[in-house]
C-alpha cells in the first residue's frame, strides 16, 4: 500500500481536521478506567461503587441495563469487541469541582464571594453547578468539550464569557445575560449568529473559525448597537456586499476581522471598499486605519483612482510645505529675528536682567575724586569685593597707623574714630 505523503500533510493541516482532533483529545483526556474488566464485561459492583450509569453496546448482556443507586456525576460508555473493551468516562462540571478550582486558584470556598471562575481545559462536556455562583463576572470555559450553552441563568451579572475551543453548534440561552460585555465563541461549530438581541451591552463578539456563511446567518448583528469589536475571520462568508450592509448599521464598529473568508478575495478592492463603507473603523484585519489612508480611500470612493492620485499628490505637497515651514522657523530662531521665539537678543537681555541690579549697585558706589579725597583725609581704606553670584560689596576700614591702634588709637576707638563702615548693595 502506497501512502501519498502530500495528501496526509494536507489532511493534517486542514483546520477542521485539527479541530476534530483537538475535541477528541479532550474527550480522551477525560477518560478514566472503572472497575474490574474481565472478559469484555464491566463489573457491576465496581461501577455501582463509583456511582456511574453503565451503558454497553451488547444488549444481550444482563449488565447493560444496570443503573447504580448513587447520584450519577458521569456516564460510563463501554464499547465491546471480540478482543478488547474500551471504557470512557464523561466528566461533569459540578459544584464541588468549581469550589475546588476556586480554592486551587487562591479564591474563596463561599460561592457568592467569587467573581472569577477558571474552569478551562478540564474536559467538561456540559455546563453546570453554577446555581450558587451568582456574583460571577468572568467565566473561563475554553478548551473543554462543551456542546451546548446552558445553565448560565444564575450568573446574571456576567460581564465576560469565554467559550472558545469547544464543540458548540448553536448560540442559545443567552437572553438572561443582559449585562454581558464580551463573549468569545471562536473555534466552535456555530453556523448561525442567533439569540443575541437581548445583549444590548455587548461590545466584543469573537466568532473566529466557525461555520457562518449566508447573510441570514449574520443578520442579527444589526441589533447590537454598542458593538465595537467583531471577529468573523476564518468562516465561510462569501457575500461581502450583504455583510457590509449589515455592518453599516452598527454605529460604533471600530475593529473588524474578516481574513480567511471567501468574500475577502471576491470583493473588489476589498480593503478600500470596507474602509470607505465603515466610517468609524479604526482597525481592519492585521493593521490599523490611519488618517492618511482614510483620506486616500475617501478620495477613491468619490472619484476613483484619478482622485486618489490627486489626493496623494496634495498630501505630499502638504508634507513638503510643513517641512519647509519648520526649516524657516528654525532659521529665524537661530538668527534672532523671530519675535515669538527665544531670539538671541531676548536671550541676552534676559541674561543681563538676572544681574542688572548688581551692576547698577556697582555703578552707584562712591567713585568720584572728591569721595577719594575725603577717604584719604579721614584715613579710610575702601575695599571692593565680588560675590559668588556676581554681586559686589565695599568695605571701608581705617588705614594702618591712622588712629586704629596704639595709645592714640584708644582715644579714637573710645570716641568712635576707629569705627568701620560696611556697605552692601540693595537687592535688585
Q: Which helix (H) or strand (E) holds 300?
A: helix 291-335
Q: Please give the biggest Cα pair distance in the chain.
A: 145
* Adjacency order of strands within the sheet including 287-288: 116-118, 138-140, 160-162, 182-184, 204-206, 229-231, 255-257, 283-284, 287-288
Question: What was the pLDDT predicted at 286?
Answer: 87
Closest CA to 141 of 101, 181, 200: 101
Number of residues in the chain: 428
Question: What was the pLDDT predicted at 92?
Answer: 83
How far apart CA 275 and CA 308 sit, in angstroms, is 14
Tell me the DSSP string of 257-271: E-TTSHHHHHSTTHH
Question: What was the pLDDT predicted at 80?
Answer: 43
Closest CA to 77 of 57, 48, 49: 57
Answer for the pair 394, 373: CB distance below 8 angstroms, yes or no.
Answer: no
* Tens digits of residue pLDDT in 190-215: 999 999 999 999 999 999 999 999 99
Domains of the chain: 5-89 (no CATH), 95-300 (3.80.10.10)
Question: What was the pLDDT predicted at 269?
Answer: 94
How far apart CA 243 and CA 364 sit, in angstroms, is 87
97: region left, alpha or beta (phi > 0 left; psi from -120 to 50 alpha):
alpha
Residue 240: partners with Cβ closer than 8 Å, 6 or more residues away: 261, 263, 264, 266, 267, 270, 273
Question: What was the pLDDT predicted at 336?
Answer: 78
Please give the chain's pLDDT, 428 residues, in tens.
444 555 544 555 565 666 667 666 655 655 544 333 333 333 333 333 334 443 334 443 333 333 333 344 444 444 444 444 444 456 889 999 999 999 999 999 999 999 999 999 999 999 999 999 999 999 999 999 999 999 999 999 999 999 999 999 999 999 999 999 999 999 999 999 999 999 999 999 999 999 999 999 999 999 999 999 999 999 999 999 999 999 999 999 999 999 999 999 999 999 999 999 999 999 999 899 999 999 999 999 999 999 999 999 999 999 999 999 999 999 999 987 654 554 444 444 444 444 444 444 444 444 444 554 555 545 555 555 555 545 555 555 555 444 444 434 444 443 444 444 455 555 54
- Reported as half-sphere exposure (CB side, CA atoms, 13 A), residue 4 has a value of 6
* Tens digits of residue pLDDT in 31-40: 544 333 333 3
Amino acid at each position: 500500500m502506497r501512502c501519498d505523503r502530500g495528501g496526509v500533510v494536507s489532511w493534517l493541516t486542514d483546520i477542521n481536521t485539527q479541530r476534530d482532533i483537538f475535541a477528541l483529545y479532550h474527550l480522551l483526556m477525560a477518560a478514566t478506567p472503572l472497575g474490574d474488566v474481565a472478559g469484555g464485561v464491566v463489573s457491576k459492583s465496581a461501577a455501582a461503587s463509583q456511582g456511574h450509569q453503565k451503558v454497553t453496546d451488547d444488549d444481550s448482556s444482563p449488565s447493560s441495563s444496570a443503573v447504580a443507586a448513587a447520584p450519577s456525576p458521569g456516564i460510563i460508555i463501554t464499547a465491546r469487541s471480540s478482543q478488547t473493551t474500551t471504557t470512557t468516562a464523561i466528566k461533569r462540571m459540578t459544584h464541588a469541582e468549581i469550589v475546588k478550582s476556586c480554592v486551587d486558584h487562591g479564591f474563596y470556598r463561599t460561592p457568592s464571594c467569587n467573581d472569577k471562575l477558571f474552569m478551562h481545559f478540564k474536559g467538561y462536556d456540559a455546563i453546570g453547578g453554577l446555581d450558587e455562583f451568582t456574583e460571577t463576572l468572568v467565566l473561563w470555559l475554553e478548551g473543554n468539550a462543551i456542546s451546548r450553552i446552558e445553565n448560565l441563568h444564575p450568573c446574571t451579572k456576567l460581564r465576560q464569557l469565554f467559550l472558545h475551543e469547544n464543540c458548540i453548534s448553536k448560540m442559545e440561552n443567552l437572553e438572561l445575560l443582559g449585562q454581558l460585555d464580551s463573549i468569545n465563541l471562536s473555534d466552535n461549530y456555530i453556523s448561525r449568529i442567533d439569540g443575541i438581541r437581548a445583549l444590548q451591552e455587548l461590545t466584543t463578539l469573537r466568532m473566529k473559525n466557525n461555520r457562518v456563511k449566508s447573510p441570514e446567518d449574520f443578520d442579527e448583528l444589526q441589533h447590537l448597537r454598542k458593538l465595537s469589536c467583531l471577529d468573523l475571520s476564518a468562516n465561510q462568508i462569501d457575500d461581502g456586499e450583504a455583510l457590509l450592509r449589515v455592518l453599516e448599521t452598527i454605529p460604533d464598529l471600530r475593529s473588524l476581522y474578516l481574513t480567511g473568508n471567501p468574500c475577502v478575495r471576491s470583493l473588489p478592492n476589498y480593503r478600500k471598499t470596507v474602509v470607505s463603507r465603515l466610517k468609524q473603523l479604526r482597525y481592519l484585519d492585521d493593521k490599523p486605519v490611519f488618517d492618511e489612508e482614510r483620506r486616500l480611500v475617501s478620495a477613491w470612493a468619490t472619484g476613483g483612482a484619478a482622485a486618489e492620485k490627486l489626493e496623494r499628490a496634495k498630501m505630499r505637497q502638504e508634507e513638503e510645505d510643513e517641512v519647509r515651514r519648520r526649516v524657516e522657523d528654525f532659521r529665524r530662531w537661530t538668527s534672532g529675528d523671530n519675535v515669538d521665539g527665544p531670539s538671541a537678543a531676548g536671550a541676552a537681555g534676559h541674561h543681563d536682567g538676572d544681574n542688572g541690579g548688581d551692576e547698577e549697585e556697582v555703578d552707584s558706589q562712591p567713585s568720584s575724586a572728591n569721595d577719594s579725597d575725603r577717604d584719604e583725609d579721614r584715613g579710610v581704606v575702601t575695599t571692593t569685593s565680588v560675590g559668588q553670584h556676581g554681586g559686589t560689596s565695599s568695605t571701608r576700614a581705617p588705614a594702618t597707623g591712622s588712629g586704629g591702634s596704639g595709645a592714640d588709637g584708644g582715644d579714637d576707638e573710645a570716641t568712635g574714630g576707629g569705627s568701620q563702615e560696611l556697605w552692601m548693595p540693595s537687592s535688585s
